[in-house]
Amino acid sequence: QKEVEQDPGPLSVPEGAIVSLNCTYSNSAFQYFMWYRQYSRKGPELLMYTYSSGNKEDGRFTAQVDKSSKYISLFIRDSQPSDSATYLCAMSAMTGGSYIPTFGRGTSLIVHP
């Protein structure tokens, strides 16, 4: 079992829908929780991060972390076709004196007009 599990999708939604993307994990030492967005044939870019548990909001995006359930979510409100991309969750814990991220497999999101 991988440390970080993420459903690869694809997830197809109509424009304007609320999207929910999720990851589960097994390592209770993870402290930082990130969401990256990757457009086709491009490198990932950081969307947002959360330290420990709780919620964080940035515009149409909300990240949630539930450490008791080892479950994190990214919500996208009023989804747009430009949100179509692969969303990667990532988490990091101290390893050998450094925080090294572990990535999920990514979920492919398609928002159709």
Partner 1 sequence: NAGVTQTPKFRVLKTGQSMTLLCAQDMNHEYMYWYRQDPGMGLRLIHYSVGEGTTAKGEVPDGYNVSRLKKQNFLLGLESAAPSQTSVYFCASSYLDRGPYEQYFGPGTRLTVT
State the residues that interact with partner 1 by CB under 8 A: 6, 8, 31-32, 34, 41-46, 49, 51, 88, 90, 92, 96-106
Q: How far is the CB of 88 from partner 1 (least distance, A)?
A: 7
Residue 99, C-beta contacts closer than 8 angstroms, at least 6 positions apart:
31, 32, 92, 93
Is the CB of 43 or the CB of 59 nearer to partner 1? 43
Phi-psi category of residue 41: left, alpha or beta, with phi > 0 → left and psi -120 to 50 → alpha: left
Residue 52 near residue 67 (C-beta atoms within 8 A): yes
Q: How far is the CB of 106 from partner 1 (least distance, A)?
A: 6
Is the CB of 18 or the CB of 94 nearer to partner 1? 94
